[in-house]
Amino acid sequence: MIRKLLLATNNRGKVREYHSLLKDIPLRLVSMADEGIMTVVEETGNSFTENAGLKAKTIAAESRLLTLADDSGLEVDALGGEPGVLSARYAGEGATDAEKVNYLLSRMKNIPEGNRSAQFCCVIAVAEPDGEIEYFTGECRGVITLESYGTNGFGYDPVFFIPELGKTMAELSSEEKNSISHRARAAEKVVEALLKKYSK
């Protein structure tokens, strides 16, 4: 019987992305909805690693399944690494993507074009039900634009410009994004580790 890997997220977009990113692993991907798990883990950690680990360990212990969780966000150099772990809540609880983007741009309105470097960071945690856990990281460097461009993606993608591609993250196709994003780079390491561990 093929072993399951539970994706510890209720974000359907993220579940779809992982089905694409992890298509080569010898495990069957299942979502929390598939397994009837309703638990919401509070992200109380001070780093992406702490939050990813917290989610993966909690859901692995509850489900008794190998569990993958991630935490990711945007770090702007000129803002001392903000919004960081607060990326989703930077403009307040329940803020829309557009509100988050506008809040970030308002915080950066006096920062000149040459000083707007930033990075998207992702930490993926893969936890066994017994508490054993591994971490995988990925990052993508870019520059914060002065206004939004593009309609794909989510979050801060419309203002995250990738110089070598000449586009914002929101102007990329899903295929392009899944080849260079912070999550894609971390997921690549996950695939490598799981193939090594579970391939016959």
Quick: pLDDT tens for 25-52: 999 999 999 999 999 898 889 999 999 9
Write out residues in the chain with pLDDT < 50, as ranges.
Answer: none
pLDDT in tens, 80-111: 999 999 998 999 988 999 999 999 999 999 99
Q: Distance between CA atoms of 182 and 134, rounded to whole angstroms?
A: 17
- Alpha-carbon distances, residue 86 vs 164, 171, 186, 198 (angstroms): 27, 24, 20, 35
Task: Give the pLDDT score at 83.
Answer: 96
Beta-bridged to residue 136, according to DSSP, are: 124
pTM assigned to the model: 0.89
Using DSSP bridges, classify how beta strands 133-144 and 160-162 pair: parallel, antiparallel or unpaired: antiparallel
Place of tokens 């019987």: 1
- What domains are defined for the chain? 4-198 (3.90.950.10)
Neighbours of 39 (CB within 10 A): 12
Burial class (CB in 10 A: 0-12, 13-18, 19+), 2: exposed
Residues involved in catalysis: 71
Retrieve residue 26's tokens.
């010898």
pLDDT of res. 51: 96
Instruction: Name, in order, each residue with C-beta under 8 angstroms of 192's C-beta and a sequence gap of 6 or more.
Output: none
Element (H, E) at 92: none
Q: Which two tokens stand for residue 64?
A: 């008794």
Q: Cα-flanking dihedrals φ and ψ of residue 160, to 5°?
A: -105, 100
Position 200 scores a pLDDT of 58
List, in order, residues 6 or more apart from 34 with CB less than 8 Å away. Answer: none
Burial class (CB in 10 A: 0-12, 13-18, 19+), 62: middle
Q: Which two tokens stand for residue 187?
A: 């997921």
